[in-house]
Amino acid sequence: MDTRPYMQDRAAEEFFSRLAEGMFQSTRCVSCGVLNYPPRVVCPDCLGEEMEWVDLPREGTLLAFTWQEAAIRCRKPEILGLVELEGVGNVLTRIDAPYESLRIGQRVAFDTWTSPDGLVLHQFRPLEEG
């Protein structure tokens, strides 16, 4: 039995597998067209079970951020942020930048990183301004 808590359904397993390949994707219901994040095996809107994988936006806007002193999976201290992705909603993610360099409304771009326990996760980095 796989005891890793992040692998409890096939959508989560596929999501992490795709992240490891550098893809940032989630599921969209074939029946009603609703995009779900995080990915689902069943559409919460129409209960459809046919889902397709689609690309998520690779750029977004930083809505909020904080410094996390005590971390479970992340290294500490860690910067966590809420990133708004157009057409998707808000994603809680790691932010790869010094705390002092961040500001609300800043544009950020998708990237991946590998946690100390070997899981590839998503993160965002500030876009170059200019």
- Rounded to whole angstroms, how far apart are CA atoms 6 and 65? 23
Q: Give 38's DSSP letter.
A: S
Q: Which of 108, 61, 60, 100 is nearest to 79 (CA)?
A: 100
The reported pTM is: 0.86
Q: Which of 17, 31, 40, 24 is nearest to 111 (CA)?
A: 24
Tens-place pLDDT, residues 44-92 = 999 999 999 999 999 999 999 999 877 666 666 789 999 999 999 999 9
Both tokens assigned to 7: 């692998």
Tens-place pLDDT, residues 22-41 = 999 999 999 999 999 999 99
pLDDT grade for 6, boundaries at 50, 70 and 90: very low
Q: Please answer whether residues 127 and 108 qualify as being in contact, where contact means their C-beta atoms are separated by less than 8 angstroms.
A: yes
Q: What is the reported pLDDT for 75?
A: 65
Q: Which residue has the tokens 């890793």?
A: 4
Q: Tell me the sheet residues that pair with 95.
A: 124
Q: Residue 4 pLDDT > 70, yes or no? A: no
Q: Please answer whether residues 107 and 66 qualify as being in contact, where contact means their C-beta atoms are separated by less than 8 angstroms.
A: no
DSSP line for 78-92 = EEEEEEEETTTEEEE
Q: Residue 2 pLDDT > 60, yes or no? A: no
